[in-house]
């Protein structure tokens, strides 16, 4: 019985390995990349505007949802962690945030972050849902 199972096991492993080789980098998964952008932008706003704070549990929940989504797509915890902790990816998302602010004629200074944060909160956007006015 064991000898018959071994070829099936090997075929299964090869199939999973083959499928994993075809998986796109996380940065190319729009829902994951957009979700990390939203969380990162909210974090930048709360760090740079003393009048705005984070809705910590909502942000942690959103991050966990992205993690679960990526794992359901076949990414390993190590792959997810490497992506989230990558300095290059953090820099890329920060540049995307600067572009987003520039498109709204805002400077990446305290006043700009506060204006953006207030606007996002008022719109109840995905970013705004992760923030609250603290003063």
Domains in the chain: boundaries: 25-133
What does the alpha-carbon distance between residue 42 and residue 45 come to, in Å, rounded to a whole number? 5
d(CA 84, CA 39): 11
Q: Is the pLDDT of residue 52 over 80?
A: yes
Instruction: Please write down the long-range contacts of 80-89, taking CB distance under 8 Å and 24 or more positions apart.
Output: 80/26, 83/25, 83/26, 83/27, 84/36, 89/27, 89/36
CA 4 – CA 14 distance, rounded (Å) = 16
- How would residue 134 be classed by pLDDT, with cut points 50, 70 and 90? confident
Is the pLDDT at 5 greater than 90, yes or no? Answer: no
Query: With 90 as the cut, is the pLDDT of residue 131 above it?
Result: yes
Q: Would you place residue 17 in the very low, low, confident or very high pLDDT band (cuts 50, 70, 90)? A: very low
4, pLDDT greater than 80? no
| Pick from 19-28, 37-46, 69-78, 86-95: least confident | 19-28
Q: What are phi and psi of 52, to 5 degrees?
A: -125, 140
Please check the confidence at residue 135 and state whether its pLDDT lies above 70.
Answer: no
> What's the confidence (pLDDT) of residue 55?
96
- Percentage of residues in the chain having pLDDT higher than 70: 84
């Amino acid at each position: 019985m064991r000898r018959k199972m071994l070829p099936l096991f090997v075929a299964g492993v090869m199939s999973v390995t083959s499928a994993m080789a075809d998986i796109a980098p996380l940065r190319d998964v729009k829902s994951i990349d957009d979700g990390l952008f939203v969380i990162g932008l909210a974090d930048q706003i709360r760090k740079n505007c003393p009048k705005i704070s984070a809705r910590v549990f909502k942000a942690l929940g959103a991050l966990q949802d992205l993690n679960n989504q990526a794992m359901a797509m076949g990414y390993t915890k190590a792959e997810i962690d490497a992506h989230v902790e990558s300095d290059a990816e953090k820099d890329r998302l920060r540049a995307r945030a600067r572009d987003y602010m520039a498109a709204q004629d805002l400077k990446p200074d305290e006043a700009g972050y506060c204006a953006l944060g207030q606007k996002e909160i008022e719109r109840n956007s995905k970013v705004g849902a992760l923030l609250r006015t603290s003063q």
